[in-house]
Structure 1
Amino acid sequence: MLRIRNNPNLNICPDYVSEVFANIRAQLVNENTTEVQAMQLLRNIWEANNNAIKVLWQRQVDEDEEQEEQRQRLDKEEQERLNQERINEEEVACKEERKKNKHKFIPILEAGIPNDPANTPCSYALKKLDKGDYVELWYFTNDGLDEANLKKTIDDDAMILSTLADRSTVWVSSASTRSACAVVNDEDLPFEEFCQVCPRFLKTIEEADWPEDRVRMMAHFWMNIQVHKFCALRDPLAQKTLLVYQAEQRRSWHAAAKFISKLPIS
């Protein structure tokens, strides 16, 4: 259907009295029709035709308005969809940011100036605990904490080449090797230091979101060690026996937990 270009409501009826239409008027004049009647007939024909065009024009205007409203509605829906996608992407990115850097988003607590010194083990030990892996208690001794404080400016995630026993080399994090020469096995710790690090270790695994039953298990285990009758004996081997026992049991527990975690779920 051809589109109407001009608004017929603005059209003006031609002046059929003028000489321009003299020939047309003459063709309509006869014994039953005067020249005046012929001019009126021409006006009536024009108006009837123009009225028909007005109807088509209004229909065209209505269709155009409907199409424009539909286009605007679709544009609005598309814009809302894009906005929602952007919001969803920002929420996902924000969640990832909070997940990666959760300490950055922890609410600021209204607390006074702490009186106790901050005890922060090295990131190597913290990462092991985050995974639930075994880590030596030495990292929570005064020497271990001092080591972490002295070298905290070194990037723990920096990768360095390490030589294995078979002379092969492998890339490892600097944090996993820089204190290796100083680390003392649990069974070789002085009993006083063992008693000192237990509360620090328990606090750290709580902050690492270890399950409460695991934390209680470790606390109960170490409490039984520290109140055992061997602690009061003069024989130095007595306390050494307790340290060897707790070291072996803790290593065995981690090994068993890791083995069970790899079993297929039935």
Structure 2
Amino acid sequence: MDRIHQDPNLEVCPDYASDAFAQTRALLENDQLNQDQAIQMLRNIWEAGNNAAKARWQVQREEDRRRQEDHRLRNEEEQADRERLQIEEVEAALKEDRKKHKFKYTPIIEDLAVPNEPTVIPSSYATRKLDKGEYVELWYFTNAGLEEAKTKTTIEDDAMIMSTLPDGSTAWVAAASSRNAKVVIEDRDLSFEDFCQACPRFITAMETAGWPAERIKMMALFWRNLQIHEYRSETDPLSQKTLLVYQAEQRKRWHIAVKSAAGVYNLSLINEVLLERTKTKVYWDDRKIKDNERDYKVSFRSNIELQQFSNQYRHATNNLTIIVF
């Protein structure tokens, strides 16, 4: 159906009685239809067409209104989708920023004054490891480790530095993911005093890193059970060394088990069988060191005595007087 471009309600019926329509009237006039009747017929025909046009006009207006409404609704939906997408992008960016720079969003406690003691801040390497829930040496939380972190030249965590890999090769790595292996002391080689000093600081750092409460509790009980174990009070220094070696080995194994099919277990339950095996190993390692030191001293003393004898022999030879008969 052709589109109507003008409102038929505004149209006016032509004056069919005028001279302009004389020829049209003449075509209709006959013995049964006079002029007035012809004029009325023309008016009736026009009104019928106009009424039909009015009905089509109304339908057309309704269709136009419906299309406009549909278009408006689509535009509103599209605008709402764009706004929702923008909000989601902003929220995602904010979430990523909170994750990447979480300390920037730490809430302020208004009634908490400046503390008397400075906050314990471990190195970026240790903090990054804890954020990932990975193993990190206790040394980073000793006085020496915290002092090293405080005096170390400040480098952006995302800065790339050249690092030597375990296989001897070098590669560019993020500053926060690298450590100075030359100064880090393994857990097994810490003094028991440093071990006891680092544990509570480590627990606080785990809480800051958002570790699950049950894991923090397990680690706290693990270290407490070692610190109150009967080996702690024995006079034999190898007993305390055993506790340190057990702590170092079992904590590393636990972190390995977390990522394996075996799953996690309760590290705080001290395995006395493994502890006894560890003590035996520590004893023989210490025995080997002492035997090597003794052998070195004996060898060194023998070499000195041999050197002294050689010197005396040369001196005596040089003083000999040759007598000819």
Output the TM-score relative to the length of structure 2.
0.68
Q: Match of 1:255, as an amino acid? A: R
Residue equivalent to 2:151: 150
Alpha-carbon offset, residue 263 of structure 1: 1.7
Q: Which of the pair has the greater relative contact order for Cα pairs under 8 Å at 6+ separation? A: 1
Question: Bigger shift: 114-123 or 219-228?
Answer: 219-228
Alignment partner of 1:77 is 2:56: no
Deviation at 1:229, TM superposition (A): 5.8
Superposed CA offset, 1:208-230 (max 9, x none): 23333433333334334444566
Following TM superposition, by how much is the alpha carbon of 1:103 offset from its aligned partner in structure 2, in angstroms? 2.6
- Give the Cα separation in 1 of the matches to 2:233 and 2:51: 117
Q: What letter is aligned with 1:253? A: R
What is the one-letter code of the residue matched to 1:116?
Answer: E
Which amino acid in 2 is paired with 1:56? R
How far is the alpha carbon of 1:122 from its aligned partner?
0.3
Q: CA 1:42–1:93 in structure 2 vs 1: closer, same or farther (change >3 Å)?
A: same
- The answer for the alignment partner of 2:121 in structure 1 is 120
In 1, the alpha carbon distance for the partners of 2:27 and 2:130 equals 109
- Change in Cα spacing, 1:75 to 1:210, as seen in structure 2 (3 Å) is closer
Alpha-carbon distance between aligned partners in 2 of 1:132 and 1:250, rounded to the nearest angstrom: 16
Distance 1:43 1:217, change over 3 A: closer
Seen in structure 2, the aligned counterparts of structure 1 residues 39 and 247 have a Cα distance that, compared at 3 Å, is same
Which amino acid letter does the alignment assign opposite residue 76 of structure 2?
A: K
Q: CA deviation at 1:164?
A: 5.2
Residues 26/147 of structure 1: CA separation in 2 closer, same or farther (3 Å cut)? same
Map 1:143-182 onto structure 2 (within 5 A): 143-151=144-152, 153-163=154-164, 167-175=168-176, 179-182=180-183
Distance 2:178 2:44 in 1: 105
Summarize the Cα distance change of 1:247–1:213 in structure 2 as closer, same or farther, 3 Å threshold. farther
> Structure 1 regions of 5+ residues with no counterpart?
none
Contact 1:225/1:242, CA 8 A, preserved across alignment: no
Q: Is the 8 A contact 1:159 1:172 kept in 2?
A: yes
Structure 1, residues 100-137: CA drift from partner, whole Å, max 9, x if none? Answer: 33333332222222222111000111122233333222
- Paired residue for 1:67? 67
| Inter-CA distance 2–25: structure 2 relative to 1 (3 Å threshold) | same
Q: 1:175 to 1:10 in 2, by over 3 A?
A: closer
**Structure 1 position 258, deviation (Å):** 1.0
Q: Percent identity?
A: 48
Query: What amino acid is the match of 2:243?
Result: Y
Deviations 1:28-48 (A, max 9, x none): 334444433333332232222
Count residues in correspondence.
262
Is the 1:186–1:244 Cα contact (8 Å) retained in structure 2? no
Q: CA deviation at 1:7?
A: 1.2
For 2:46 and 2:177, locate their aligned partners in 1 and report how far apart those are by CA, in whole Å. Answer: 98
In the other structure, the counterpart of 1:262 is 260
Residue in structure 1 matched with residue 323 of structure 2 by the alignment: none
Greater Cα offset, 110-119 or 161-170: 161-170
Contact 2:187 2:245 in 1 (8 A): yes
Computed over aligned residues only, the root mean square deviation of the Cα atoms, in angstroms, reads 3.0
How far, CA to CA, are the matches of 1:259 and 1:220 in structure 2? 19
Match of 1:43 in 2: 43
Structure 1 residue 232 displacement after superposition: 5.8
Q: Cα distance, 1:231 vs. partner?
A: 5.4
Distance in 2 separating the partners of 1:158 and 1:199: 31
